Each structure stands twice: as C-alpha cells, then as structure tokens.
Amino acid sequence: MLLSKFEKLPDEIILKICLYLTPFEIINCFGQLNWRLNRTISRFRCNADIHHLTLNQYQRWYSHLLPSTTEYIRNLVLSNWNSPGQIRLFNQSTKNYNSLHQLLPNIKQLRLIDFSNDDVHILPKLAMIDKILIDIDALKPLLYSTKCLLDDYLFCSSFSFKEIRLWIGEGGIRFRHNTKLIVNPYLEQLTIVVAQIDDLILLFKRSPNLVKLYVAISTVSSNKSGHCIMNEIMPKKLTDFHIQTNDQKVLTFDALFVIMIHIPTIKLLSLDIETNDRDYVDGLCWTFLISRLPNLKRLHFKIRMWIGTGTTSIDVNPFIESFARTKLPIICYGDKRVLYIDTVPYNMHEFNTNMCVTTSPTVKYAKTTNIELYQRPAYGVQSLLLSVRHEPTFIDDCLYVLNRFPYIKALDLTAVNIIDQTNHNEQLCLPRLIALRYVRSTRCKINIPFFLLLVTNSKITPCLRALTVMYGDVIYLCKRLPGFIFERLKELWLFSNDTDGRVIIKDIYLLLNAFPYLQHFSFLIRSSRSINRNIEQIIEMILSSLPNLISFRLICRKSSFRLHSLIDNNTRNVWIKRIFGLNDNEQIHIIINKKEISIWK
C-alpha cells in the first residue's frame, strides 16, 4: 500500500491494525513516518515490551528505535524467557548510565522476567522507578548472594518504590534480620514469596504503609514468631491481603488468626492454603475469625486439607454440615488423600486480580452450601491446576472440570492417570488457552486421546502454542504416533529426571520430527549424566533441525555438562556458524557453562 493511500485511513482503522501487532512491530513499521502516525501510535511508544523478540529485532530496537522513544517510555519489559541473556545484554549496553532513569527519564515501571544470578548488576540502577516487577527464572536456583542483593536493593536501600513484585519459585527469599532496619514509607503494593513467617513480620516493619499485600510463605518457621506479634509493628493501612502456602505445616490456623486480628483494616481477604490443620475445615473457626475483622467485605479461600489415608475416599458430609451452620457459601469434595473446601463463586473481580484454582476430578461429585453461587460462571480464573494424584480417572471427569473454567490461559495437569482410551465428548472449548503443562502420566504412559483432544483440536484450543511435558511422556507419545506432527506448537518445555532414563539420539530424532515448527525449546535435566555421552551431537541435531528456532536452553541441576570442545571461544564460534550457516555479519547470543547451554538467535 502506498503511503499516500495509507495516510487516508482513519485513526480507528490504524488502531485496529495495531491490535494484531506487537509494540515493537508498531514502532518499527509506523514510527517516525510522519506527525499524524506518531500521534496515533503514541500510547504504544509508552510501553517498551521487548518480550519474545529475536536477537536481530532486539538489536534493531536498541540501536534504531530506542533513541527516538527514550523520552516517551514509561513501562519497560526485559525478559530472559524465550530470549536468554536479554536482561544482561541490555544492562551491558547501558553500562555508561548510573541509573535507568538517566536513559529513560519518564520510566515508571520496570518488569524483569526470568531474572537470574547473571542479572544482579541491573539492581543498582533502579532509582526513581515507582514499580519493580521481578519474576525469577524457575529453571536456575538463585544463589544466596543474589537473594542478599535483592534484599539490599529492593528493601534496604534508599529507593522509594511504590510497588514491588518479587516472585521466587523455590524456597522464597530469606531476609537478613540482623541488618539495620530500613523503612520504605512509600511502598503500598507488594507481591512476594518469603521463606518463613518471620520474614513476613519483618516486611510489616519495613513497609508500614502497605495497602495491598500478596504473599506466599514457603517453609516452616523454626520459632513461634507468628504467635508473638505486637500491634505496633502491624500495618495500619492494609486493606487487601492474600496469603498462599504450599507446605502443610507452614501456617496453622492459630497463627493465621493471630496475624489477622492485628490487622482490623482488612476489607478483602484471600487465602490459598495447603495444610494438615483441621481448624481450617471447621466452619466455626472461620466464623470466629470473621467476627474479629470489623471491616471485612469479602472473604475468599481455597483449602487443601491432607487427612486421607489413600485407601478410601474422604467423607465430606461432616464438613458440609459444619459450614452449612455458618452460612458460608462453599463447595466441598475430596479424593483419597486431600479434602478440598473453596468459597464460591470463583470471582476475584473485587480483588482486581487473576486467580489460580487448584482442583481435582472429584469436584464433579462436590457438595455445596449454596447451589446458586456455585453454579455462577467463574470470573478472573487465569490458570487451573488439575491434580489427579495418579488415581484412575475418566476423560469425562476431567472435561467436566475444564468446562467449569472455560476462559483459563494456562492449564496444569499433574499426576495424570486417565484410563479410558476413547472420548465421545468434544463439547469442550478453551478459547484463551495458551499454555498446557502435562506433568506427568502414570508410568510415563500419556493418555493419547485426551492429549490429542487438547493439543491438536483447533476448535477446542485455538490459541494453544506452548507445551510443558516430561521427557519420558513425550517420547512414549512419539513412539506410538509415528509420523504425527504437532504443527501448532511453537514452544516446548521438557523436564527429565531419573524416571525418564537416558536422553539418546534415536529418541531426539523422533521428538524433532514430531515438533518441527518450534520457535522456543527448553530442556531441564536433573543430572547431566543422562545426556553427556552424546551431548554435542544432540545439541547439533536440535539446532540444525528446527528452522524456526529463536531460543534454545539446556539446563542441568546435578553434575556438569561435558563440552570440552566448546569451551574455547574460537572453536565455539566456528561450530555455531557451521550449524546455522551464518556469515560474518550475523550474530547469535550464546551462554555456555557447566550447568547451562543457551542460544538466542
């Protein structure tokens, strides 16, 4: 289309076109053409989201597009996810600046996705930024020194952050309690994973003006700090509070009670609790807690109580009767080990956030104290974790659960043991599902009809692009579907442990034939010994067989990769150029060490 004809399009049409493009594509295509287009796309210049860029696109953004947009950028997103090394590369490029604010004078928010130990040098540059959002790379555990630096710069510095997100997958962050107390009176919103309850109490001391707090507590505290709380240290403005635990002994109901009664300002309370404390499934305990919260407007909780023996199903009737007397609207169901009690409806609109629901196929047989609220459509449920616990399950039971949450973006299926091999019900529709995590199947025997229903049917999952699966499961699948191609999948995350056996060339060949259109491929191996015998051959196979590949990551948790011939930089460069057929002007970003091999192209 000629520029003169494009100029005649109304702003509304141009903005419609922009809906189908990334911010990079919009600025790259329309930026600096003329005054009118610059005005029309002005809001896209404010948000510099360079997520999912190829290395060439990133280099063009930094060298050609960034200089003309620095004064407009308010939100910046840097990511190692699907672009390994991007955060460090950006930081090295800005080494002449003492702070990001010097480069981007109007920046208000910085998001760092898959932050790792290699990225700590960006932390001193965060001055004069209101919002810092950091998600830690789940594939690479943080060093103790990295956690100390995060503590120093986010919570013990002079930086006046108003909002912080620090999401650490394994173990949370353990604060240093023996350092001088630094108070940030400006911090109002915080999302964080802490190690223990006493870290939460220290947060209250450091951030006295919190209004919104979402906290996950990882491990059991060695002392009774949760029971000796002084009113003076508790936040006086906190109105929105979410607590999450995944360890059965982290937070007893008594400890929760003591914390909550010292925060009478709470209006919205949300809890996602894994526990073995029976007080959590006693309706009278909840009634007593609610009576001590005079400003409470909305209570939402999801309780997973481990009380089963593993031999017979849990009788839910006593628990339903307990909550029926309190008139709390809940559903109650259980498998052979876990009792589930959730408030209904699943609606987080008032909390102004998305939620994750953990459930079981046995929810099909749930009992409720309020059928009308239970039958209301779910709202704001972004991800669903369906745990089968290796119990024999029918496909229809799983489909019942999925139909209850049709607008999820991520689906996590764990310990799957679906026993029927045919499916006659295809009424399911998950129009927004982007990512499927299928970890793992009983005896690595993935249920092929159910898997194909979710992965290959574009009417059911039209937006699906990412799959996470165990190595043993996917090789089992490839061997039973020879010649089958999963053409819609663009991202593959493989996990392997001792159960999955060795990684061999013959199986990798099957895998690459089944997933030929991958753009991003990550492989986390428990021990390098399962791949070291043929590691260079396997890497070369992967890199040369996937023409659309943008990023590749191979990471091990134990032992070290044997890459003697690739330690030398010159040898490595020759090897990479040969695999990809690069000329002298083309570049690929490479990270090679004892635990990681990553490539971004």
Q: What is the DSSP string of 491-503?
A: EEEEEE-GGG---
State residue 228's pLDDT score.
61
Phi, psi angle pair for 443, to nearest 5°: 55, 30
Name residues whose C-beta falls within 8 Å of residue 18's C-beta, 6 or more positions apart in sequence. Answer: 26, 41, 44
Phi, psi angle pair for 460, to nearest 5°: -85, -45
Three-state SS at 133 = strand
The beta-strand segments (E) located in 330-441 are: 330-334, 338-343, 355-359, 367-368, 381-387, 410-416, 435-441
State residue 33's pLDDT score.
63
255-260 long-range contacts, Cβ below 8 Å, gap at least 24?
Answer: 255/197, 255/226, 255/227, 256/289, 257/285, 257/288, 257/289, 257/292, 258/226, 258/227, 258/229, 259/200, 259/226, 259/229, 260/289, 260/292, 260/293
Q: Are 69 and 103 in contact (CB under 8 A)?
A: no
H helices present in 442-598, as ranges? 448-456, 471-480, 505-514, 535-545, 569-580
Rounded to an integer, what distance in angstroms lies between the CA atom of residue 473 and that of residue 252?
A: 37
Burial 417-442 (b: 16+ CB within 10 A, else e): ebeeeebeeeebbbeebebbbbebbb
3-state secondary structure 9-75: CCHHHHHHHHCCCCHHHHHHHHCCCCHHHHHHCHHHHHEEECCCCCHHHHHHHHHHHHHHCCCCCCE
Could you tell me if residue 483 is left (phi over 0), alpha (psi between -120 and 50 degrees) or otherwise beta? left
Q: Are 64 and 70 in contact (CB under 8 A)?
A: no
Three-state SS at 468 = strand
Alpha carbon distance, N-terminus to C-terminus of the chain: 31
Tokens 């990809």 sit on residue: 580
Rounded to an integer, what distance in angstroms lies between the CA atom of residue 7 and that of residue 583?
A: 38
Side chain identity at residue 507, one-letter code:
D
Tens digit of each residue's pLDDT (9 = 90 or more) over 453-477:
999 999 999 999 999 999 999 999 9
State residue 423's pLDDT score.
67
Residues lower than pLDDT 70 in the chain: 1-9, 11, 31-40, 222-228, 423-426, 565
Rounded to an integer, what distance in angstroms lies between the CA atom of residue 472 and that of residue 502?
A: 9
CA atoms within 13 A of residue 89's CA, in its CB half-sphere:
20
Q: Are 285 and 320 in contact (CB under 8 A)?
A: no
Query: Is the omega angle on the peptide bond into residue 440 within 30 degrees of 0, that is, cis?
Result: yes
Tens digit of each residue's pLDDT (9 = 90 or more) over 161-208:
999 999 998 889 999 888 889 999 999 999 999 999 999 999 999 999
Rounded to an integer, what distance in angstroms lies between the CA atom of residue 502 and that of residue 529?
A: 8
Structure tokens at 170: 């394994």
